[in-house]
Structure formats: C-alpha cells, structure tokens
C-alpha cells in the first residue's frame, strides 16, 4: 500500500517551518536555536514542528538540504549549450559568482562548516550538491564541447572554480569583505575563462 501524498496544507507548513528554521539557524547557529523558537517564529505549535521533523537534528538536516535545492540552477547547463565556448564560460562564471557570494549562501557555508564536526554527513551533502555539482556541470560541458577527456575536463573545471572564488571567498566567509565590486567580479571571471581557453590551445 503506497503512502498518501502530503496535502497542500502540509507541504506549505513544512516549507514555512524550513524557512523559519533557516532564518534562525543562520542568525543564531545550531546550538542556540530551539524547536520552541522555530515554532514561535512561524506562529505554530511545537507539536506541529515535531510532526514534520522528529528532532532538531532532523530539522537542521532538512534546512541544509532545502537550502542546497534553492541554490541549485538546473537550467544553467541547458543554457550554456546554445552559446559559443567563451560566452558559455562567461555565463557559468557569472551565475556561479552570484551564488557563491550571495549573503545567504555565505551564511549557509559558515553554518555547515561550524557544525561539520557534529554533522559530517551534512558537510558531505553540502559539498556534493554545491561545489562538486558545479565542477561536474562545467566538466561535462567541457568534455562535450571542448574535446577534453573526462579526467582533464574535471581538473580544468576545478581550476576554473578555484580561480573564480579566489582568495576573496575566504575573506567573505570570515566577514572581512562579503561583496566584490563589479570590476573585481569582471576580473575574477575573465581570469577563470582565460585560464580554461589557454588550456585548450
């Protein structure tokens, strides 16, 4: 017998719980966020929160998972296929940079790092569905469109992402400069794109 699908109301409540929990986890961290506080933040009972998430740990995992889903850009690979190589790389760089330096993405990154010792599986999930997915998307594109073998394409895609983030990403994570100027963004993207094109000459 198949399980009954959650009702629209149930899905809406789950989404509200995740949104409220995300705000609190990002603002206060895991330890200082309580299920009571999450319930109060969305105007629901604690029992309602527990009905959807059996523990604070499960809620935290659900919050990280939902945040990764929200960050993902499933249309990016399809859009790149219609463009010449340089323009496709430029598009990939711009979209990636917007995501990487988005304040909420930075907050999520800090939160996962802070709790990775307690929840190592969440660190792996964040990596697999964030940085690793970006590298895999670009590597697959390069393998299809730049006559590169899979191993070389993955290596160059990793180098592209490293150049794109630059040292500025570390500064942003530490709150020492959370934004890049337009000129700095253009420079980061150009450096990463030129690196890939140089590798293929």
Q: Does domain 8-63 have CATH number 1.10.10.60?
A: yes
| pLDDT above 70: residue 8 | yes
Question: Which of 125, 130, 152, 124 lies closest to 140, judged by CA?
Answer: 152
Place of tokens 């740990």: 57
The H or E element that residue 3 is part of is none
Residue 42 has pLDDT above 50, yes or no: yes
Can you give the pLDDT at residue 6? 67
Query: So what's the pLDDT on residue 2?
Result: 46
Looking at 22-26, 66-70, 179-183, which range is the least confident one?
A: 179-183
Q: Can you tell me the mean pLDDT for 142-170?
A: 92
Specify the pLDDT at position 1.
Answer: 41
Which pLDDT score is estimated for 3? Answer: 52
For residues 77 and 125, the answer to whether their CB atoms sit within 8 Å is no
d(CA 88, CA 93): 9
pLDDT of 33 over the 70 cut: yes
pLDDT at 70: 84
What is the chain's mean pLDDT, rounded? 91
Mean pLDDT along residues 73-85: 90
CATH number for the segment(s) 72-199: 1.10.357.10
Distance CA 129, CA 132 (A): 6
Tell me the C-alpha distance between 148 and 122, whole Å: 32
Q: Span 140-152, mean pLDDT?
A: 90
Tens of pLDDT, residues 97-141 = 999 999 989 999 999 999 999 899 999 999 999 999 999 999 999
The domain ranges of the chain are 8-63, 72-199
């Amino acid at each position: 017998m198949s399980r009954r699908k959650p009702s629209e109301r149930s899905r809406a409540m789950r989404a509200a719980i995740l949104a409220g929990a995300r705000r609190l986890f990002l603002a206060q961290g895991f330890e200082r966020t309580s299920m009571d506080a999450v319930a109060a933040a969305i105007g629901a009972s604690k029992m309602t929160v527990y009905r959807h998430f059996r523990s604070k740990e499960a809620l935290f995992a659900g919050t990280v998972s939902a945040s990764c889903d929200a960050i993902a850009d499933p249309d990016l690979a399809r859009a790149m296929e219609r463009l010449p190589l340089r323009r496709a790389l430029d598009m990939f760089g711009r979209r990636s940079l917007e995501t990487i330096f988005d304040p909420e993405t930075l907050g999520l990154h800090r939160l996962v790092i802070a709790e990775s010792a307690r929840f190592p599986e969440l660190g792996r999930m964040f990596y697999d569905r964030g940085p690793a997915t970006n590298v895999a998307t670009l590597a697959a594109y390069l393998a299809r469109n730049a006559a590169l073998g899979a191993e070389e394409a993955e290596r160059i895609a990793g180098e592209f992402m490293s150049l794109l983030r630059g040292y500025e990403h570390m500064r942003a994570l530490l709150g020492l400069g959370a934004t890049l100027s337009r000129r700095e963004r253009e420079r980061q993207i150009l450096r990463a794109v030129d690196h890939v094109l140089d590798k293929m000459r």
